[in-house]
Structure 1
């Protein structure tokens, strides 16, 4: 009887203890699960769900992550302090290793934390997952040059497959910013200058991921290229301009592609940091657009309020401004940054409703991904080697991205009688993949591709000729520097302009090659008004007279054996100062460098020309000799660009222009292939060469694809997604600008581009015939169809990219001179004709009126169709009443 009474008393309690919480019941609606889990969380647990970092738990202290975490970018890490903006990526771990690591991390969070909330593993996948074994497709600008949304969908689906099998469920891609100024170093990451094209490509990309359960994160919200084509410069655009152009691709990715995350930009928008901008994140994105996903910052962007924009007094205040302003997740680069931004003592300063909303958005995503039910990836299903089909897709994408810019005398495709080809330029032998790339799988250089396609009957001669290096000097490496038996120099840092004050920091520096922009050189210093002194010895590697000196801004001095060799102590702008000095091999020379910085953006380098022992003119002579003994020459030339690498000049760097001109002077047919993600000026050589092709960064199969085009196995049909200017003075230069109060020309330069948006040649000729409208007058809100016949007037099959542009002939506010509103990439057999149609929908005709409302105004609209923005062969007016 006692046992029976005991069971009666105890069993209800046991039932209560073992009852599954509602949030773990997969049959419940997501919103109920979110609300239940949110109600159980402590403020500390909430703060960790809005914090994401690169890393893993391999070296975590016991209980370090007891409160959970949004997620990890596994096997990655930050560079620098809480203000640093770049990450290091571990691309040496294969798919199985990554999946195993992510499973281990999930197991900890699901089984060892109080609430068992799984993490979201996230990564970069701009044009291929940045991982070992993942396929490297053409860079984004190259994918845009295909003007093929179906192919873009196949590319994205391939990347998504390689991403999901590793357990990665959130990608920090794509970049849907508009390349409004081609000096911008990150143009390569975009889909070009046009909102319609960027939207179409972005939607195709994100849709392929979202359909298989991977969150996409269009970035950087918003307009992160400012005056002068400089990255993350302050943005002062009107709401009209933002809505018409820069916000459009983001909205398309959300509405039509299903993107569930957005990443903010580093810059300010109308004076407020994008990561804490309530108008941008709350009013526009969440309230006006109804966005239900979560907003993350760029890496270490939240702290920009403190260290860059000076609109927050400390890191907790910047976090408060960001979350209260509409940000949902703070992306930092180290675990310890959580205590800087979200210490327990400051959580009360964040609006509780806003904090709960941010956490709810994260939890909703984790429930939608099914991570509570299926947190692990099947390691047995992970393949060490990726699908062979993906390499075929990569090759096709590279083929379609090839833009033929010039083909004088039909020098391309290469004729059968050619027996010797000179392939010249460093970029011919190096298969560069562009920014945010993994290592690729057996990437093929252009040189290799040409050799393989040419076969035994054609001799291919290679000579470097020239590379992208602009300098005649290089940074002195640590191997020649020493201080008290240690490699490098002894650095002393002072919090004033003068070295006679007390030092703030001392350390060993391997060499002098510093660029301090976002953070000071040492703790205890600010980002301006400091100085440094380096001492040690320099061992000469060879005997001879060489040039040695300093490159930097503000003041610098160089002493060798206590003699002043270089001095620009009062110079406060960027400069390189070199002096001749005679060295004896093996002898040690005492060296002292002094430097001061007054106002941010400090650069200082100790340089010489000892390394550059090969005569650069000799390299060009060797390339010319190779061209002379060949039937034709191919020069592959490239540019240097990327994050933190905006370009002031758009010409080819180094001696590449000299190489092109020298080879052209031989009289041999010359093809120039351009490797890079942006526009290049060509005034010094364009009229001296027969053919030019923009190959972008064509991916791991790029060498094969380029050879396919050169030898005529594939008929090029890529089109420019950006405008190529004649000169930098024309910039910014986009095709869809609004009418001017004057003309477009300068008094000494045309306003017209070198190559217009949408331009690209083919080995075929296409003829357009206007077939008219289905209805040439429609009511507001109705649609109509325009028809045309396109004929391939050649004996070679190929693609034509048919482009439709619209201009509002009379509007209540100024409208662009033309806007892309449709395109089709169509394949034609030899001599084939096809009747094509475009449906003119209300969405194509809408505009923002004076009150910033989207409307369709009655009137006439010019409908123009052709092969580029300046080759419009079908033109008709549509009446809207």
Structure 2
């Protein structure tokens, strides 16, 4: 399949899907009888082929279409697609409406490429930033992760009449569950987690994705959870997901994890029993990237053998097939006359992509089946729509977090600086983060962005200075350039090699000699701004103490340089907020704002126990002042609502946006709760001198927590806290009566 894959599936996952959006089906649907009839006509082999991903799952004999899947973590992972900011940057916007619009655009491009489902979003609640997949996450808070993730899902899938129409796709929430708390930050590490923590932290955003966005599909996690592989964990996959939540969607395995039940964990005696365990846990399709029809697939010859040996009942296979077919019906794929579909031309002409080196069995399957995500004829019209680029820029600009601005160095005044230098390994390099196209539509680097902004009458010079290796040989060149410049932009951080899936770290300092580069630039005495492009929080304590201005950009997508320039020169006022805490050093990890209190006074020898930058933090070029919060009702019953009203004023001289954050503390509870938990937020735009009244409703979602098998709101006092970050808060008391 190599030639076929390389031509039409650049890292595409050929795939699974899922059906009804999220709740147990009490009523018969028009497709039910059709599905039952199709299953009755299938041979066992044909049934099993429905359970394959990254392999044909169509059936031309019975008129069953293929379903193609891919990654769309921050845009569809296809060459020429629009590349939006990485997930951690998306969360920094704290803008649910914007992320939903982004989802609509990504879905539209996906359909143009012939993709029907995406393995997105990742709803991990990150508790250890050493983990390489931090960049794929929406941060450390369950509520924020759930809100950003649900917004993206609503955009990808559509809601109401738009749901799963020709411009929308099926989302897949992953990884179920608790992969954001890996032991020592190691990807896929085994760990034990109490039911209390599972429900209140790690399951929380998935429940939100089902209730608020009706997510179509779910993917289990790689790791052992309480000694049981997630792909065979009936407690989370059946008891919680289906029995307690009533969700009845489609479940697709993660890559190779069905095989790992035997090969890695030795949880089963053989691969036939691996297939059985997966089906019993409720997995309907198996993802095995680029494996063809081989012994890498448990839902293949091993499953056929297991059925023939009476290890697996046919009813289990039929149930999985039912979910796959329902997904295809829900996505409208049966509405296409697949026999006459022009995309089948690829099977008739080897020059158009039919594999030339495949087994006889593979060749037969290709003749029986499929189309595999082949783009529509007019795909360029959709993908190269200028509005998509404009949206990518908007998301990038709102993602940027201003961490420090001593002496109001920023925004830079264009007329003040005749010569500007850019130094550092991220000045010209393309930094997109993981799960990005190999060949994006375009990428504007920082040097290009600044030069384009200033025009030809200003000189923008570049010297890398260092890379991520240990060599310091070129730092003197960068220093010489800085000394001859009016101001220097120091573009540093990380890369896809230092932070990605299976690229974890035991050190959070800047990779390579970047710290030495910054210190050398600082020693010149000339002004400079530090711009970070990275996938996880870094330990930059020296920089935070000594540098005048710091901008956190994460990975900003195709518009990186333009967004950075617009922020640096004040065309856009920064408004991003951190979705994750910045530690001072790796010794503080795991570090997150909503930890429970320690039993003794917290003190660390020769080190400040407070974070470098707190969750929710982010500065602006203007200033905002919050008034005192007031409750519409200071006493409510558990089933009632109240509203907190907060006046906010722009006390500066520039228009700007900020995020009003609401935190809750259950003062006296049966189980000790964190001192503060994010439970709502609102973005607000204000002109200079303008005051607005912000109203935020408080009800069950803000006050409840899971304890002793149920969600509960305990009577008593709650502290309702509001602020512009998690550290500086104003408080008002709410009483919930018995």
- TM category, shorter: 0.7 to 0.9
1:372 alignment partner, one of 322, 334, 342: 334
Alignment match, 2:87: 140
**1:277–1:326: 8 Å Cα contact kept in structure 2?**
no
Aligned-partner SS, 1:820: strand
Instruction: Note the 1:481-560 alignment, pairs <5 A.
Output: none
| C-alpha displacement of 1:316 | 2.0
> Is 1:259 aligned to residue 197 of structure 2?
no
| C-alpha displacement of 1:697 | 0.4
Alignment match, 2:484: 629
2: distance between equivalents of 1:638 and 1:650?
11
Alignment match, 1:222: 177
**TM-align CA RMSD:** 1.7
| C-alpha displacement of 1:349 | 1.5
2: distance between equivalents of 1:765 and 1:705?
22
Q: Which moved more, 1:328-337 or 1:390-399?
A: 328-337
Aligned-partner SS, 2:441: coil
Residues 338-382 of structure 1 deviation map (CA, whole Å, 9 limit, x = unaligned) = 685232222232233332221111111111112112255893443
> Is 1:382 aligned to residue 239 of structure 2?
no
Residues 397-450 of structure 1 deviation map (CA, whole Å, 9 limit, x = unaligned) = 110001011111111111231222111012110121000001321210011101
Aligned-partner SS, 1:697: coil
1:303 alignment partner, one of 253, 259, 263: 259
Alignment match, 1:407: 405
Residues 169-215 of structure 1 deviation map (CA, whole Å, 9 limit, x = unaligned) = 11011111111111100100010011100100111101112115111
1: distance between equivalents of 2:733 and 2:314?
56
**1:324–1:350: 8 Å Cα contact kept in structure 2?**
no
Aligned-partner SS, 2:718: strand
Alignment match, 2:280: 324
Alignment match, 2:390: 392
2: distance between equivalents of 1:688 and 1:737?
29
1: distance between equivalents of 2:698 and 2:220?
34
Q: Which moved more, 1:742-751 or 1:624-633?
A: 742-751
Residues 87-132 of structure 1 deviation map (CA, whole Å, 9 limit, x = unaligned) = xxxxxxxxxxxxxxxxxxxxxx45xx33221111111111011111
The structure whose residues are more often helix, as a share, is 2
2: distance between equivalents of 1:395 and 1:150?
15
> Is 1:620 aligned to residue 576 of structure 2?
no
Alignment match, 1:834: 692
Instruction: Note the 1:797-808 alignment, pairs <5 A.
Output: 797-808=655-666
Q: Which moved more, 1:711-720 or 1:446-455?
A: 446-455
2: distance between equivalents of 1:251 and 1:791?
35
| C-alpha displacement of 1:317 | 2.0
Aligned-partner SS, 2:327: helix
Taking a change above 3 Å as real, the CA distance of residues 331 and 379 of structure 1, as seen in their structure-2 partners, is closer
Taking a change above 3 Å as real, the CA distance of residues 236 and 666 of structure 1, as seen in their structure-2 partners, is same
Aligned-partner SS, 1:430: coil
2:610 alignment partner, one of 733, 748, 752: 752
**1:235–1:268: 8 Å Cα contact kept in structure 2?**
yes
2: distance between equivalents of 1:304 and 1:868?
42
Alignment match, 1:455: 455
2:717 alignment partner, one of 834, 837, 860: 860
Taking a change above 3 Å as real, the CA distance of residues 706 and 245 of structure 1, as seen in their structure-2 partners, is same
> Is 1:741 aligned to residue 613 of structure 2?
no
Aligned-partner SS, 1:303: helix
Alignment match, 1:564: none
Alignment match, 2:115: 168
Aligned-partner SS, 1:346: helix
**1:716–1:762: 8 Å Cα contact kept in structure 2?**
yes
> Is 1:468 aligned to residue 453 of structure 2?
no
Instruction: Note the 1:650-665 alignment, pairs <5 A.
Output: 650-665=508-523
**2:120–2:171: 8 Å Cα contact kept in structure 1?**
yes
> Is 1:116 aligned to residue 117 of structure 2?
no
2: distance between equivalents of 1:634 and 1:773?
46
2: distance between equivalents of 1:745 and 1:852?
36
**1:315–1:340: 8 Å Cα contact kept in structure 2?**
no
> Is 1:813 aligned to residue 662 of structure 2?
no
Alignment match, 1:705: 563
Residues 583-611 of structure 1 deviation map (CA, whole Å, 9 limit, x = unaligned) = xxxxxxxxxxxxxxxxxxxxxxxxxxxxx
Unaligned runs of 5+ in 1: 1-26, 55-68, 71-108, 473-615
Q: Which moved more, 1:366-375 or 1:460-469?
A: 366-375
Taking a change above 3 Å as real, the CA distance of residues 656 and 364 of structure 1, as seen in their structure-2 partners, is same
Q: TM-score, normalised by structure 1?
A: 0.73
Residues 797-837 of structure 1 deviation map (CA, whole Å, 9 limit, x = unaligned) = 11011100000000011111210001111111122111111
Taking a change above 3 Å as real, the CA distance of residues 411 and 339 of structure 1, as seen in their structure-2 partners, is closer
| C-alpha displacement of 1:712 | 0.5
Question: How many residues matched?
Answer: 654
Alignment match, 2:645: 787
Instruction: Note the 1:178-189 alignment, pairs <5 A.
Output: 178-189=125-136
Alignment match, 2:4: none
**1:51–1:338: 8 Å Cα contact kept in structure 2?**
no
Q: TM-score, normalised by structure 2?
A: 0.86
Aligned-partner SS, 2:628: strand
1: distance between equivalents of 2:519 and 2:211?
50
**1:176–1:191: 8 Å Cα contact kept in structure 2?**
yes
1: distance between equivalents of 2:706 and 2:280?
30
1:335 alignment partner, one of 289, 292, 295: 292
| C-alpha displacement of 1:146 | 0.5
In terms of Rg, which structure is larger?
A: 1
**1:224–1:235: 8 Å Cα contact kept in structure 2?**
no
2:726 alignment partner, one of 866, 869, 878: 869
2:551 alignment partner, one of 672, 693, 697: 693
Taking a change above 3 Å as real, the CA distance of residues 750 and 28 of structure 1, as seen in their structure-2 partners, is closer
1: distance between equivalents of 2:629 and 2:609?
34
Instruction: Note the 1:564-575 alignment, pairs <5 A.
Output: none
**1:719–1:758: 8 Å Cα contact kept in structure 2?**
yes
Instruction: Note the 1:75-114 alignment, pairs <5 A.
Output: 109=58, 113-114=60-61
2: distance between equivalents of 1:744 and 1:848?
27
> Is 1:346 aligned to residue 303 of structure 2?
no
**1:745–1:752: 8 Å Cα contact kept in structure 2?**
no
| C-alpha displacement of 1:32 | 2.1
Taking a change above 3 Å as real, the CA distance of residues 699 and 188 of structure 1, as seen in their structure-2 partners, is same
Alignment match, 1:510: none
Q: Greater relative contact order: 1 or 2 (C-alpha under 8 angstroms, separation 6 or more)?
A: 2
Alignment match, 2:436: 437
| C-alpha displacement of 1:302 | 0.8
1: distance between equivalents of 2:633 and 2:81?
50
**1:468–1:638: 8 Å Cα contact kept in structure 2?**
no
Aligned-partner SS, 2:694: strand
Alignment match, 2:372: none
| C-alpha displacement of 1:28 | 7.3
| C-alpha displacement of 1:638 | 1.7
| C-alpha displacement of 1:249 | 1.2
